[in-house]
Amino acid sequence: MTTLTDQVLLITGGASGIGRATVRRCAEKGAKVMVADLNLAGAQAVAEEVTAAGGQAAAVAVDVSDFAAVQSAVQTAVDTFGRLDGIFNNAGIAGGRPLLDHDPERDYHPMIRIDQDGVYYGILAAGRQFVKQGGGGVIVNTSSIYGEQAAELSFTYSAAKAAVISFTRSAAYELAEHGTRVLAITPGRANTAIIQQFPQQLRDLFASEQLRNVMTEPEEIANVVAFLFSEESNAMNGTVVNVDDGYSVFKHRFE
Ligand code: NAD
């Protein structure tokens, strides 16, 4: 069974959805988790829930689009739990408009700052901390199937998520000499707030895009992330792991 005993993990976007499920799962497997989110109250609630269940977690406010704030969150994890063994660069926002309707200040730059720059900042801050500790460490980044393909209303989101895939490969290359592994996940349709905001008809369509006609639950993605943080995935580095129930492997059903 995957174990994360005494590993110190920083999880961004930990107040909700995939991040929250990953906090819970990693804590169950023995990790000490720093729950980082723009929504501090939400992060605190998740940390308190973990602590009440006998796990170890604490919360910190972070805006991942601010490098100083990300560095400070890493430092808080180190101050609280003594070291850092992994970071899940997962915080993100979704949505978008048709390209020709874009106002760059509204539809491009803000999302790039969060979904793209935020992951870069997490890689940089955690990577430096790992080197300070003598090397090692695991970085897991949340990309998306949209990082590998074009999609409606997703010009900026796809660009940011494609950059996350590129960051993952390049950072795996650059940090290998320090013993650090870098991995990415690409969720398809995960049943979180990002999707729940849409009307039922659209959610049914989203579910039908996955091979088994159901959306992926955040807990199922959390299982994969916990595995990526564990020694059991030690052979994997620079790998992009599809957690999309086959969304990315087919195009049409003839029915
Ligand atoms: P979610 O909305 O439930 O969770 C996102 C979390 O990120 C929230 O807690 C939010 O407060 C936090 N956040 C947003 N901006 C932030 C910022 N600037 N700094 C710090 N925290 C911030 O959504 P989710 O589905 O769990 O999304 C998690 C990740 O998964 C995102 O990167 C998203 O793009 C990606 N993803 C989701 C799906 C899906 O179908 N749900 C598919 C592919 C990729």
Percent of the chain, pLDDT > 90?
96
Chain mean pLDDT for the chain: 97
Q: pLDDT tens digit string along 182-226? A: 999 999 999 999 999 899 999 999 999 999 999 999 999 999 999
User: Is 121 assigned a catalytic role?
Assistant: no
Average pLDDT over residues 99-120: 98
What pLDDT, on the 0 to 100 scale, is given for residue 47?
Answer: 99
Nearest protein Cα to ligand 1, atom 31: 92
Residue 254 predicted with pLDDT over 90: no
Of 46, 82, 92, the C-alpha closest to 184 is 92
User: Out of 38-47, 79-88, 106-115, 241-250, which region has the weakest mean confidence (pLDDT)?
Assistant: 241-250
Instruction: Kindly report the three-state secondary structure assignment for every residue of 42-108.
Output: HHHHHHHHHHHCCCEEEEEECCCCCHHHHHHHHHHHHHHHCCCCEEEECCCCCCCCCHHHCCHHHHC
Token pair of 156 as six digits: 């900026």
Per-residue pLDDT, averaged over 245-249, amounts to: 93
Question: In the chain, which ranges are continuous DSSP H helix?
Answer: 17-28, 40-52, 67-81, 104-107, 109-111, 118-132, 155-175, 193-196, 200-208, 218-229
Tokens of residue 48, six digits:
């308190």
How many CA atoms, within 13 angstroms, populate the side-chain half-sphere of residue 190?
28
pLDDT of 123 above 70: yes
Residue nearest to atom 6 of ligand 1 (CA): 13
Note if the pTM is more than 0.95: yes
pLDDT value at position 252?
A: 72
Give the residues surrounding ligand 1 with Cβ less than 6 Å away: 12-13, 15-19, 37-39, 42, 62-65, 90-94, 114, 142, 144, 187, 189-190, 192-195
Assess contact for 175 and 134: CB atoms under 8 A. no
Best mutation site among 22, 38, 189 for ligand 1 pocket (most ligand atoms within 8 Å of CB): 38
- Tell me, what's the ipTM? 0.99
Q: Give 224-233 pLDDT, tens digit per residue.
A: 999 999 999 9
Residue 254, Cβ density class (10 Å: 0-12 exposed, 13-18 middle, ≥19 buried): exposed
Whether the per-residue pLDDT at 255 is higher than 70: the answer is no
For residue 105, give both structure tokens: 């200040």
User: Of 149, 181, 136, 144, which is closest to residue 164 (Cα–Cα)?
Assistant: 144
